[in-house]
Amino acid sequence: MSRGMNDPKGVVLVVAGLKGGIGKTTLSLNLSLAVAQRRWRVLLVDADPQGSIGFSIHGDLHQKSGLAEVLAGEVDLDQAVVKSRLAELDLLPVGQIPSVAASRWSTDLEDGEAIGSFFAGAQKAYDLIIVDTPPSLGGVTLGAMSRASFVISPLQAEPLAARSVSKFLEVLAHLKAEGSSVEMIGVVLNMLQSRHDSSLAVAQESWNLFPEDLVFEATIPRDPAFLHASAAGTPVGLLQRRPPAVAAVFDQIAAELETKIGFDVDDDQAISLLG
């Protein structure tokens, strides 16, 4: 897609969070689809040695080569990517990492060197590289964040969750002090139950705690569609021919993201309704 002169190329967006089960993989997968449906070329990278993306999508993705083999120089990126049903969306599974070696694999990537060169290669072919990470701010997550353009984090609408974001901001401040140009693009409230006071209180707390532009306007409700989608091994937007209402949230997040990172189509004009 053509973009304005000043638009960044090959933006790297790392999806990270301190805890498991807060929606990192859900956000990575569904946002990747939404951005690709808006016609940006997207590479979704699974950097979780547990293979979150590989396991949440049906098929044999978790048996394929992927990030691990590309980083080891055993295969090229274009050989390792798995095509999706959208021309704009490619997937890179994490690859084959024996469970006993997972922690070592992750630690070895903490300095960001290897993953930084990987990003540099991928940036030539994609507008946006979305990286799903394991629940930790060290290891491969830290390495990826240090070389990323932006970090986004789901914030589970549960009491005390907002406090973990402060730790997060500390880690990013540290990376920036060491010369990284990474920016926190924002947090997305997940599993919001707008009819529950405690859930709303968390939303309220994060709106009060963080600068306004740090919290995405769009929020992800708690919705059984995510379980159905997980069971079907697909993003909610592809769950059925007429997707459930919750799928539209990711288009909203994608639109906000475009604005925040300055993706712009230079020849974008209103389109006439009439043919």
Ligand X SMILES: Nc1ncnc2c1ncn2[C@@H]1O[C@H](COP(=O)(O)OP(=O)(O)O)[C@@H](O)[C@H]1O
**Residue nearest Mg ion (C-beta atom):** 25
CA 56 to chain centre: 14
Is 143 in contact with 112 (CB distance < 8 Å)?
Answer: yes
Residue 227 in the binding site for ligand X (CB under 6 A): yes
Q: Which of 213, 152, 221, 158 is nearest to 188 (CA)?
A: 152
Nearest distance in Å: CB 229, Mg ion: 14
Residue 206 in the binding site for Mg ion (CB under 5 A): no
Provide the H-helix boundaries in the chain. 24-37, 52-56, 67-71, 77-80, 102-108, 113-122, 139-146, 161-177, 197-209, 225-232, 247-261
Residue 153 in the binding site for ligand X (CB under 6 A): no
The DSSP H or E segment spanning 14 is strand 11-15
Residue 106 in the binding site for Mg ion (CB under 5 A): no
Q: Under rule CB under 6 A, how many of the chain's residues touch ligand X?
A: 18
Residue 32 in the binding site for Mg ion (CB under 5 A): no
- Which of 165, 220, 253, 254 binds ligand X (CB under 6 A)? It is 220
Selected range binding ligand X among 78-86, 168-176, 216-224, 266-274, rule: CB under 6 A: 216-224
Residue 157 CA neighbour count, 13 Å, CB half: 23
Question: How many whole angstroms separate alpha carbon 233 and alpha carbon 59?
Answer: 8
Q: Which of 119, 111, 110 is nearest to 92 (CA)?
A: 119
Binding to ligand X in span 126-145, by CB under 6 A = 135
Residue 146 in the binding site for ligand X (CB under 6 A): no
Residue 26 in the binding site for Mg ion (CB under 5 A): no
Selected range binding ligand X among 13-21, 89-97, 166-174, 237-245, rule: CB under 6 A: 13-21
Q: Which of 134, 133, 73, 67 is nearest to 95 (CA)?
A: 67
Nearest distance in Å: CB 132, ligand X: 7
Binding site for ligand X (CB under 6 A): 17, 20-26, 52, 135, 190-191, 220, 222-223, 226-227, 230
